[in-house]
Amino acid sequence: MQKNLYSSYSLARKFILSKQPALLSILEWLLLSMVIAICVGSACAFFLISLEYATDFRNAHEWLIYLLPLAGILLGYVFYRWGKEIAPGNNLVISNIHKPKKIIPFRLAPFILGGTVFTHLFGGSAGREGTAIQMAAAISDQLSRVFKLSKYNRRIVLISGMSAGFGAVFGTPFAGAIFGLEVYHMGKIKYNAIFPAFASSFMADYVTKSYGVSHSHYILGLVPDMNLQALLITILVGICFGLASLSFIKLTTSYSKISSKFIKKAYMRPFFGGLLIIAIAGLLGTTKYLGLGLPTIVESFTVQQAPYVFFFKLLLTAITLGAGFKGGEVTPLFFIGAALGSALSLFLPLPVGLLAAMGFVAVFAGASNTPLASSIMAIELFGIACSPYVAIACIVAYLISGHHGIYSSQVIGDAKSVTKLRETGRTLGEV
């Protein structure tokens, strides 16, 4: 019976392939995208709900913050003992898109999920996007083994998984699809994965929301018409946001290198990083910079932030991630950008909500080298009215950050300036 069904499928496939090959490809990728979306969307929902519980529990029991160094040792040892192969995280995923090797171990998904929730439970300053992408890629790549996919199709599955994870965790499926297509090759977008990337992202977002997961809402307020003065101000703040992106990249990398140089045992680095985070938070007398920092992000759209707020989030996130704690970079980048934009409203004649929105996406664009996905994300989150402002700010920030980024395995597809043409084809980690 099973043999007859397989023979019937093969005959039908050959017939459709001879008449309309594109239709067959669409149908096959639609089915595969549905599987990716159900698995990834469900995993992201579980992750977001777990993260919310961990954050609420920490806020109700602030003494947990003092256990961050001990949590760091435990987390560091677990990854040192059983997670060396998966330690590169996002860079492992991106490098496998460029040069597919063996299937990404499934254990990356539970390891990064547990590590991120653990980091947030005890007060580390980290995000969630990196976790969602790594979970999504690890889960999706198992389909490559099940269906015995070629290297070419495996790349598409990984891109689709990344798109699904990003779209589901932020509730921005359009941006998620573009992110998956844009992130692995800086300056170039290849369209071979465009259909499964969009299908996976939109369906994964639907699956995640079906579990009752909700996302933050932002009040943009007034958006003035674009004129010459507004254009010049937008370019100026885009430069500021690009410099903030660059500062985050440099500080995170520098702390990681210094920590590795002076602390030889890898599993001890989170311990000392945790001590430093506690000390800084204690000196500041607030916990607003720990965890995701969503309340401050939302507040930045309506309340002008002090000029130092963005810096302390940048500092604590660089220490958290540089020390080896787990979590993403993107939500902290949203915090840094929104707080910086909000603070700039003290000096510039643009509404605080608009400047916060520009910073929210532009700092991310500069750090991730994804100006298109970042611009589309702004439209999904804040509405179409802000599109000229956010697009210009994202492009300028992207150019200002140069050949630097939070993903060292990104390949430079097109150089950002003629003086850097020789770096085309190399990864950011190699330049």
Concatenated DSSP letters of 39-80: HHHHHHHHHHHHHHHHHHHHHH-GGGGGGHHHHHHHHHHHHH
Burial class, 238, CB count within 10 angstroms (exposed 0-12 / middle 13-18 / buried 19+): buried
Q: Residue 47: pLDDT above 70?
A: yes
d(CA 409, CA 143): 23
CB atoms inside a 10 Å sphere around CB 73: 17
- Domain boundaries of the chain, sorted by first residue: 18-210, 228-400
- CATH code linked to domain 228-400: 1.10.3080.10
The alpha carbon of residue 424 and the mean position of all alpha carbons in its chain are separated, in whole angstroms, by: 24
Instruction: Report the distance separating Cα 213 and Cα 201, nearest Å.
Output: 16
Integer Cα distance of 192 and 194 in angstroms = 6
Could you give the C-alpha distances from 390 to 160, 313, 349, 381, in angstroms and in order? 26, 22, 16, 12
Query: Around Cβ 234, how many Cβ atoms within 10 Å?
Result: 25
Grouping H, G, I as helix, E, B as strand and the rest as coil, residue 328 is coil
Q: Reply yes or no on whether the pLDDT at 41 is more than 80.
A: yes
Distance CA 182, CA 177 (A): 9
Q: Which of the four CATH numbers 1.10.3080.10, 1.10.1040.10, 3.40.50.300, 1.20.140.10 does domain 18-210 have?
A: 1.10.3080.10
For the segment 88-109, the average pLDDT, to the nearest whole number, is 91
Q: Which pLDDT band holds residue 13 (cuts at 50, 70, 90)?
A: low
Q: Do domains 18-210 and 228-400 have the same CATH topology?
A: yes
The pLDDT tens digits of the residues spanning 155-168 come to: 999 999 999 999 99
Closest to 355 (Cα-Cα) out of 175, 228, 217, 234: 234
Residue 431 banded pLDDT, cuts 50, 70, 90: confident
State the CB neighbour count (10 A cutoff) for residue 408.
Answer: 18
Helix (H) or strand (E) holding 16: helix 2-19
Per-residue pLDDT for 20 more than 90? no
pLDDT digits (tens, 9 = 90+) for 106-150: 999 999 999 999 999 999 999 998 899 999 999 999 999 998 899
The reported pLDDT for the residue numbered 16 is 59
Looking at residue 19, its pLDDT comes to 60
Q: What is the mean pLDDT of residues 282-289?
A: 94
